[in-house]
Structure 1
Amino acid sequence: MSIDLVTGENARYQLLKVAHERFGCAPAALSSPQREQAERIVGRQLQLENAVLHSAEACGVVIPDEQVADAWAEIAARYEDPLALHKALDDSGLDEAGLRQLLARELKVETVLQRVCAGLPEITDTDVSLYYFNHPERFVRPATRLARQILITVNEDFPENSRTSAWRRINLIAER
């Protein structure tokens, strides 16, 4: 993930969040596949945040300092003491001032999304099911398979499994 410093700090914060919420551990403890998955999630999340913050609806949205302080207190409460919190921040390449700015950004994104959704009707499970069943083409993916081995058996008791038929099948597959 190549990102500039501000986004990089945001990406580190989002990675820390995703690692704890999704995998229950620090980013450094993620396995390679988990880290790849977390980075994909963070990438999509950052794109969404940027789109929300650059939308017309984001103009004029101001997050009060008290709301940021409450969010900070909520995070701090998850740690045994302030030293443990600061160590976790250091391990993720973050500091308190930077995290407070990132919390303000996150709260602004949430506020803008709430503002946009305020006039929309509530979506029920029935609505979701109806959409799913009325638009099956949007949920179908072509089959993707990777074959490393193909078993072709020879059984002279069956004409379709004779040695010559097996060779014919092998050659047909090899031509693909």
Structure 2
Amino acid sequence: MTNFEFAFFGIQVPNLDLTSWDVHNVTDAGFMFMRAQSDVINLSGWQMPKLKLAQWMFMLAPRVHELDLAGINFRNADATRALMNMNLTVIHLGPDSLLTGTNLQPFHNDAYQDMWQDIGDGTTEAPTGKNRYTYSQLMAEFKGAAPYTYVRAKNPGSADGKEPIHLFTTHGRV
């Protein structure tokens, strides 16, 4: 199968695990996960060396916070707006997961900075990497590398990274 266009459009499952799928012949993945309502889309192990079209692949999927693109080859693909309007906090990248043109954009959340941090020898929950990139820098400067993970940098004092809950009364914020 070479065409996965719209294959998971609007899917509504909490954790979409597609690790065992053979997608090495896929050439068209446009709109594939657009409007997905999953928190995590696990594509680890995917290899898409023949990918040519990836426009809007994950666009308008605001619930997705973790995405594994390590085996997705955007190097020779049209990935226009592939990551637009997403709320990613963890992104796994590989040698061919170039981000140029994907429209990876910041989203507002008081718990996070508008920066990406490499995890270094740490974990996604406790990164130790020294490098931090703005969204624009990560898209422009990531030229492919051995599989590597970046997390959205948390604001100091934000333990869980979730949007703080504010309570309001008739007299204002509590």
Normalising by the smaller structure, the TM-score range is under 0.3
Specify which structure has the higher proportion of helix.
1
Rg larger in structure: 1
TM-score when normalising by structure 1: 0.20
Structure holding more strand per residue? 2
Higher relative contact order (CA 8 A, sep 6+): 1
